[in-house]
Amino acid sequence: MEQAVPTPQSFDRVLSSMCTRPHPAAREAAERFLATNPGDPDTYRAVAALENDVVGVLGEITGLAEPHGYVASGGTEANIQAVRAARNRAATDDPNVVAPESVHFSFHKAADVLGVDLRTAPVDADGRAAPDAMATLADADTVAVVGVAGTTEYGRVDPIPALAELAADVDALCHVDAAWGGFALPFTDRDWDWNFAHAPIDTLTIDPHKLGRAAVPAGGFLARDSTTMDALAVETPYLESMSQATLTGTRSGAGVASAAAALDALWPDGYREAYERAQDNADWVATAFADRGFDVVDPVLPLVAVDVPTALFDALTERGWRLSRTACGELRLVCMPHVTREMLAAFLDDLDDCRRSA
């Protein structure tokens, strides 16, 4: 008898994920480079060259002409590395990191593994970091001040220049987490200051495997100065290369090659088109919810949060929709590139149907 081949889920009803279908060129490149290890760059030179290309383009996207950094396993690793670099270069024995309470949960992991105290401050009424509230938590032991450019729950962009100023005041590094927002922000028509060109930030996270349409795993860690990388480097006696600044050792060449292929295919025009389509969809579905009388959080990036009753959320989940919630319990729709207008219309049809039969 023939064995059934396991197949992954379809994206047809996935409204909860920050990942998406890879670009076809990214998928193809991932397969081609499966058996490569950028963690040993002198042995695996072709993929190491691609990684340099990726870091260069990520620098272009984030306003940094001579970027340092690498393709990480994801935003979690990049954020851990930012905290690690900040801790390692500081003199204190009792390090703390100051962040808004909207930071991604990866910072809680970073604090845990690195023995750093994570201090989070309340956000303002619009869900953005409040620099004054953060300033009350910062002191001589603060090693990093963190801002988010595109929060995971509401897509909010923190006032990064004010946070960079706060970091400078306490001689800490300033890190920006643009893991999800980084591939959308260059194309928005608001004049948000979020990247290396806009403020004296030190490090930044931007993930090709989210809006960048690379295959998983492909995260991005970027640093303005080589000294940040030096703070992460350890000696590597058995490899051809002499030192390593990454957190993991053997790494996915598939992720690196797919990121290179996606950037090559999509930066900048493809990403602009994808962002514009996604934002139109987010605005459209937000209006559709508001017209039905729901409370909607204004989607400043392609991410919509809506207050829906638990029974309705559960009924939609039963119909196969993959949905997630914010910490406050709102329904959270991420308008990734696989989320089409037709898909959202079908979702709203189901929503109307569930409400009628409730």
Ligand X SMILES: *Cc1c(COP(=O)(O)O)cnc(C)c1O
Of 20, 76, 252, 279, which one interacts with ligand X (CB under 6 A)?
A: 76
Report which secondary-structure segment, H or E, holds 351.
helix 341-357
Stretch that binds ligand X, among 73-81, 221-229, 261-269, 310-318 (CB under 6 A): 73-81
DSSP-based three-state secondary structure for 233: coil
In the window 183-202, what residues touch ligand X (CB under 6 A)?
none
Beta-bridged to residue 211, according to DSSP, are none
Of 148, 305, 335, 351, which one interacts with ligand X (CB under 6 A)?
A: 148
In the window 2-41, what residues touch ligand X (CB under 6 A)?
18
Residue among 205 and 281 whose Cβ is closer to ligand X: 205
Residue among 40 and 207 whose Cβ is closer to ligand X: 207
Residue among 179 and 285 whose Cβ is closer to ligand X: 179
Beta-bridged to residue 331, according to DSSP, are 306, 325
Site size for ligand X (CB under 6 A) = 14
Counting contacts by CB under 6 A, is residue 299 touching ligand X?
no
For 250, 292, 316, 346, the CA distances from 312, given in Å and listed in that order, are: 45, 14, 6, 15
Q: Directed axis angle between helix 341-357 and helix 310-318, to 10°? A: 120
Whole-angstrom Cα distance, residue 131 to residue 114?
A: 25
Counting contacts by CB under 6 A, is residue 177 touching ligand X?
yes
Stretch that binds ligand X, among 75-83, 130-138, 168-176, 242-250 (CB under 6 A): 75-83
Name the residue among 278, 191, 176 with its Cα closest to residue 221.
176
Stretch that binds ligand X, among 114-122, 175-183, 225-233, 306-314 (CB under 6 A): 175-183
Closest distance to ligand X from the beta carbon of 129 (Å): 12
Q: Supply the DSSP string of 262-330, one letter for each residue.
A: HHHHHTTHHHHHHHHHHHHHHHHHHHHHHHTT-EEE--SSSEEEEE--HHHHHHHHHTT-B-EE-TT--
Residue among 154 and 196 whose Cβ is closer to ligand X: 154
Strand 234-235 to 243-244 pairing: antiparallel
Residue among 43 and 324 whose Cβ is closer to ligand X: 324
Closest distance to ligand X from the beta carbon of 100 (Å): 11
Of 38, 39, 74, 131, which one interacts with ligand X (CB under 6 A)?
A: 74
Counting contacts by CB under 6 A, is residue 179 touching ligand X?
yes
Closest distance to ligand X from the beta carbon of 218 (Å): 9
Of 39, 59, 67, 75, which one interacts with ligand X (CB under 6 A)?
A: 75
Q: Which amino acid is at 290?
A: A
Stretch that binds ligand X, among 69-77, 121-129, 184-192, 294-302 (CB under 6 A): 69-77
Q: Which amino acid is at 91?
A: A
Burial track 167-179 (b if 16+ CB lie within 10 A, e otherwise): beebebbbbbbbb
Residue among 220 and 351 whose Cβ is closer to ligand X: 220
Of 62, 152, 203, 258, which one interacts with ligand X (CB under 6 A)?
A: 152
Residue among 148 and 323 whose Cβ is closer to ligand X: 148
Of 33, 70, 180, 271, which one interacts with ligand X (CB under 6 A)?
A: 180
Residue among 76 and 244 whose Cβ is closer to ligand X: 76
Site string for ligand X, 100-119 (x = CB under 6 A): ----x-x-------------
Beta-bridged to residue 193, according to DSSP, are none
Whole-angstrom Cα distance, residue 177 to residue 150?
A: 8
Q: Supply the DSSP string of 156-210, one letter for each residue.
A: -B--HHHHHHHHHHTT-EEEEE-TTGGGTGGG-SS----STTTS---EEE--TTT
Q: CB–CB of 259/71 below 8 Å? A: yes
Footprint of ligand X (CB under 6 A) = 18, 74-76, 79, 104, 106, 148, 152, 177, 179-180, 207, 219
